[in-house]
Amino acid sequence: MKKWICFVLSCCLIACFAGVSAAAETATATVRVTLSDQSGKVVLAQEPITVTDRNEDGKLDIDEALFAAHEAKFEGGAAAGYATSTTEWGLGITKLLGDESGSYGYYVNHKSAWNLSDEVKDGDLIDAFVYQDSKAWSDVYAYFDQDTASITEGDEITLVLKDSEYDAAAQSMAEVPVSGAVITINGEETAYKTDAEGKVTFPLNQVGEVLISAKSADKILVPPVFKATVSAKPAPAPVTEEEPKPAETKSPKTGDHGTLIVFFALCAAAAVFAGKKWHEA
């Protein structure tokens, strides 16, 4: 009996530790949050945000991520910039970035979310925005095929811009390339535009953190965000003048030795001949 009781207690302890471990895993996560206001301005661009389980339900959700983003980055915190309410469709936003128009959207990893209670995990990308068209809600969610990159000053980057639209039957969302969109760099329009396939290639000459987005004359785009970290191009190595080489000392060649021997032999013969003549005289 004692053994059986010990076994049951052991199982309980294991279950408790497992529960604590699971709770620890969901206690916090770091997500990247992008927020855009009603003017189409990117207020927060893929900002790393630490999310905590505020409602203690054992999971982390979109609501907790947006609350944490406002608490950390919005002037006045979440109390001034963010609010929610529960309706027949679930938990929804009633205030975003201080805007109370009631026209908001949010996506997780470029996919439309059902409501704010949808779960998020470490590394997720969350986009939330105020509709620029607050009446017809015609804004189209747009995104690049890449989110971030680290490159060197002057290097070219190639991006593909897509948006999410309902198919002809309005039953499901489909990816559609966005053509003719003007690329912006740190908020400034450039001469670069996407082609028919939504593709565009351009160099990045600014050093530091660079925010790439796009605008379209045909659609109201939820601002897509690509964040590049551009490092300075390494300075070229200084050109140094070559030191003059020391004058070469020419060593006699093998053939020159024979010439010298002949010369000295002739000199010796001449001296002997001269001495003989002098003696005869």
> Could you please report the per-residue DSSP string of 152-221?
ETT-EEEEEEEEEEE-TTSSSEEEEE--SPEEEETTEEEEEE--TTSEEEEE----EEEEEEEE-SSS-E
Question: Confidence class of residue 46 from pLDDT cuts 50, 70 and 90?
Answer: very high
Instruction: Give residue 12's pLDDT.
Output: 44
Q: How far apart are CA 250 and CA 248, in angstroms?
A: 6
For 17, 38, 78, 81, 95, the CA distances from 100, given in Å and listed in that order, are 44, 11, 13, 9, 5
Domains of the chain: 18-134 (2.170.130.30), 139-234 (2.60.40.10)
Lowest mean pLDDT among 98-107, 180-189, 249-258: 249-258
Count other C-beta atoms under 10 Å from residue 103's C-beta: 19
Q: Are 185 and 226 in contact (CB under 8 A)?
A: no
Question: Confidence class of residue 275 from pLDDT cuts 50, 70 and 90?
Answer: low
Query: Does residue 258 have a pLDDT over 70?
Result: no
